[in-house]
Structure 1
Amino acid sequence: MVASFAMLRLIPGDPARRIAGSNVGPAELEQIRQGLGLNDPILTQLKDYVVGVFTGDLGTSYSSQQPVSTIIADRLPKTLELAGAGFVLAVGIGIPLGLLVGALTRDGLRPRLSAAFTGTTSFVQSIPDYLLAALLVLLFAVLIPVFPVAGASGVISLVLPATAVAAGAAAILARVTRVETLAVLSADYVRAARVKQLSTRRIYGVHVLPNVMTSALTISGLILTALVGGTVVVENVFAWPGLGTELVRAISQRDYPVVQAIVLMLGVTIVIVNLLVDVLISALDPRSLLRAS
């Protein structure tokens, strides 16, 4: 809260001037500043902001004069929809791919497949979200007009932005899952299961998958929190009506209440997601509670 409040005040520009325009005289400009509370001491502004947050009052937008809570209520579902779709796509691709490649390349088998997998995932991971988003628009909305260029007009309009958000995350998750799969496959209890001549399905279903999933879920939680913040850039490329596009608009307009509320909302969302992931991991793997204690 304090950091977002302070950073906004360091950005050059006068919110009152943005609202009033260039043809307003000094007296009218001063009146607008007084009405917005911008003439109050900085500590008084901070106190009013903090008190407002804890009393449920996020303020009123400078530009639209709408309650900030209404703006967030309108925009947040779209951001969560995009982040959720990207997360499902990243997990649905990354974990199975990592498990498959890990199983195929265990004990040094198929070195070419291992090199190709590492090189491809490293390349995909290194592409910035905004560049990948622009490439997807060029390929599948302009050159091959399969998907809409921008907007939120249904499930089909979610495909390209969700892919742009999920690609790098899926590559990271696939690499981590493969490493964990190789580690589990070389563990003593898996070797003992092979000596007992257990079926491949039982070895992977009972011994390998649960141990790999614990690490995969930990990384997945970090990925989900990154996706929530990473949607900001992708939303602006696809004109997706979420918090990201509203945040960029509010920053350009020096709309302090909107920016502060969105940053706070994203931070709270990330904290909640991390908490839920910790609870889920402890439920799936009670040993994590023993290690923590």
Structure 2
Amino acid sequence: MTTATAGATPATAGPGGGHARAGSSVLDLPWVRFALRRAGGLVLALALLVTVTFLIVPLIPGDPARAIAGSSATPQAIATIRADLGLDRPLPQRFVEYVSGLARGDLGTSFRYRVPVSDVVTARLPYTVQLAVPAIALVLVLAIPLGMAVGVLTRGGRRRRLDVAFGVVAGTVAAVPPYVMGTLLVVVFAIGLKLLPPGGAQTQASLVLPILALSLGPACAVARVVRADTSSVLEQEFLRTARARRLPAGRLYLRHALPNLLTSVLTLTGLVLTSLLGGTVVIENVFSYPGLGTEIVQAIVSKDYPVIQGIILCVGCLALLVNLLVDVVLGIVDPRTLTGGHHGG
């Protein structure tokens, strides 16, 4: 008499071992659920971005056809230009054509330059990246060490004056709008001290003030959060025990304190970096820098709808990509976030 089924399937390792339990599907794996959730979110976000951009941009005051034809043009000439630009077709038809073009990788044709919008974007995008990437790096390099250092020095109510001074200075700098920060930097370092060029993109030195204007505010905002979280983490029992064992300072703070700060810091950093991408639009115009920000302002003035839409889509996709990368890093640092919270699924 058979006592066991020969073909019985043994239980597999649980989620911690990287395998699903017997009878479970691949959809039960945290990373698979995370990928599906994020993919669905990205599709919805892109659809919303495309729709809102298409509907809002034509609300900009003015007529693109009249802007191209000039103030002395006849109504017949303006009508001809409107037909040539496709603006005489019904809005739903234009939207379908626009989405169909996007599906083929076609962002449309610039009203002003009469070249593909993708050419305009690719010509200006490297300049914006040249500002944004160093600014992002500077935010992280300044904010995390500074916030941790102040948090360590002021833990448990120590050095109250330093804590207050840091809060006031960092809060003030973080509250300064980018265009005001850029103007102040130009007045002090370009006009007053004559140490750096006031704008343009002729030399590497021209990048210093725009990068500082982009990064100082976000760096102070992130540093304040890091300081608060550092103070909180240092009061936890496991770190008190580590200090009682007189572990070396580097091991104590880098191996024990920093990993416990990463979840909140990365979450805030994703939000800050998204706003920083938008800040490049303002900063590039303050410093006459030839990036996407300067181009979109010129496009708004000339009513160049396809270029405006193309740049908004480009910046929006970059923001979505930044947030996706932050979510992936969060999933690696703290797997509990893969389930959409701090509790496993």
Normalised by the length of structure 2, the TM-score is 0.82
Whether 2:279 is the aligned partner of 1:230: answer yes
Alignment of 1:33-182 (within 5 A): 33-182=82-231
Aligned length: 293
Look up the SS of the partner of 2:288 in the other structure: coil
CA-CA distance at 1:168 after TM superposition: 0.7
CA-CA distance at 1:172 after TM superposition: 0.4
RMSD: 1.3
Residue of structure 2 equivalent to 1:20: 69
Higher-RCO chain (CA-CA 8 Å, sequence separation at least 6): 1
Indicate conservation of the 8 Å contact 2:178/2:282, yes or no: yes
2:312 to 263, 284, 287: 263
Residue of structure 1 equivalent to 2:243: 194
**Counterparts of 2:199 and 2:188 in 1: how far apart (Å)?**
14
Task: Point out 4+ residue stretches in structure 1 off by more than 4 angstroms.
Answer: none
Look up the SS of the partner of 1:254 in the other structure: coil
Residue of structure 1 equivalent to 2:81: 32
CA-CA distance at 1:94 after TM superposition: 1.0
**Counterparts of 2:112 and 2:73 in 1: how far apart (Å)?**
16
1:205 to 229, 254, 269: 254
**Counterparts of 1:154 and 1:221 in 2: how far apart (Å)?**
30
Look up the SS of the partner of 1:182 in the other structure: helix
CA-CA distance at 1:289 after TM superposition: 3.0
Normalised by the length of structure 1, the TM-score is 0.97
**Counterparts of 2:251 and 2:277 in 1: how far apart (Å)?**
36
The structure having more radius of gyration, on CA atoms, is 2
CA-CA distance at 1:81 after TM superposition: 1.6
Residue of structure 2 equivalent to 1:2: 51
CA-CA distance at 1:76 after TM superposition: 0.9
Q: Identity over aligned residues, as a percent?
A: 46
1:143-171 deviations in whole A, cap 9, x for unaligned?
22111111112321110000000011011
Indicate conservation of the 8 Å contact 1:80/1:228, yes or no: no
